[in-house]
Amino acid sequence: MGEQKIRNMEEFAALSGISRPTVSKYFNDPNSVRPSTRERIEAALEHCDYRPNIYAINQNRRLTKNIGIVVPFLADPFFAEIARQIEQRCIAAGFWPILFSAHGQQELENNILDSLRSLKPAGVLLAPLGRASDRKKVEAFCAEVPTVLFDSNIAGIGEAFVGSDNFSFVSQSVEYLSRTGEPPCFFEMRTPANPNANKRRAAYFKTMETLGLEPRVIKIEGEGWSFEEIGRDGARRVLEDRSLPTNTVLCSNDRLAIGFLAACYERGLRVGRGDGCALRVASHDDHPFSRFTCPSLTTVAHDYDSVANRSVETLFELIEGGGRLPERTETLFPARLVLRASA
């Protein structure tokens, strides 16, 4: 291969002995041509590495095969991991995924949406920043481009939402902790970036009420996406003040918990469920690093696979349906308690 220099489909068609429109048909769907024709084209492809010009292709299609994937913060391995899974599924389905991260900034999220408009994607999978999102711009975008939201919901925006069931997360952690020791207080940011945090707080109240226990929430200061640092600094203060109402802390998410554990370690507080332990700490997300914390973190896991799968499936349905779904569905997957050493 690589002998000839083919400049366009015309030349390639001549080389293969098949007419250009048929070759074009082949590249759109290899199964749409007769097997014997397909063989001749593929034989020709062995002799040169011709590939159709994607810009010319996309210019003449109303819709491209591009799929935009937008996450709020790619430096969080949680998003990197789910983006990876989504990416692979799009490729397997013959689409061209393009990954974007807003890096926690509204301005960047807006720029990404603008870029995506230019790309004329067949569809977009969007995990919005949440509180920091420019709601109107996201809404306007979703009205133009077939979009499925994932991870973080914005009511009424996008053709569908797929995510994890925050109530399932929190009810499991709260029930487990209450059953095996002191009921937990809830440790979170005062102004969380992500709307899931609000749902988790609500679920905490609800579950504590159901169990007949008194809820206690600790709100810490901090802005942005440096959750570990915010969690550590907040924990330092709480431990300094000795203001923890219980010996059991349920963090809103694993990244805060990672910071909490760091603060505990600094103060020489032993965390875990053993006898010599001063505290139990648990959390939610099953962050990729949570199995390597000290102690390893008891948490509640997202069903990554299902969320990625269903997000992509829903987007494909949306694309096949011409960009609209009969109604906006919200799919929530239950979580799974992961017992480790910290609680």
Q: Report the DSSP pairing between strands 147-150 and 160-164.
A: parallel
Lay out the site mask for a copy of itself across 100-119 (x = CB under 8 A, - = otherwise): xx-x-------x---x-xxx
Considering the complex, state which of residue 188 and residue 254 has its C-beta at the smaller distance from a copy of itself: 254
Nearer to DNA, 25 or 103 (CB): 25
- Cα 112 from Cα 106, distance rounded (Å): 10
Q: Is 21 in the site for DNA (CB under 7 A)?
A: yes
Which of 34, 55, 94, 320 is in the footprint of a copy of itself by CB under 8 A? 55
CA distances from 100 to 92, 155, 287, 292, 298 (A): 19, 22, 20, 28, 31
Q: Which of 1, 2, 3, 36 binds DNA (CB under 7 A)?
A: 36
CA distance 251 to 248: 10
Applying CB under 8 A, which of residues 83, 116, 124, 315 lies at the interface with a copy of itself? 83
Among 4, 15, 24, 211, binds DNA (CB under 7 A): 24
Which pair of structure tokens corresponds to residue 148? 């499925």
Partner in contact with 96, chosen from a copy of itself, DNA, none, beta carbon below 5 to 8 Å by kind: a copy of itself
Nearest distance from C-beta of residue 85 to a copy of itself, angstroms: 10
Residues within window 75-104 making contact with DNA, judged by CB under 7 A: none
Among 15, 45, 57, 80, interactor with DNA by CB under 7 A: 57
Q: What is the DSSP string of 4-63?
A: S---SHHHHHHHHTS-HHHHHHHHH-GGGS-HHHHHHHHHHHHHS-----HHHHHHH-SS
Dihedral sign for Cα 131, 109, 285, 165, please.
positive
- Label residue 216 exposed, middle or buried (CB < 10 Å: 0-12, 13-18, 19+): middle
Which member of 2, 4, 15, 27 binds DNA (CB under 7 A)? 27
Which one among 63, 74, 217, 325 touches a copy of itself, defined by CB under 8 A?
74
- What is the binding site for DNA (CB under 7 A)? 7-10, 17-22, 24-25, 27-28, 32-34, 36-37, 52-53, 56-57, 59-61
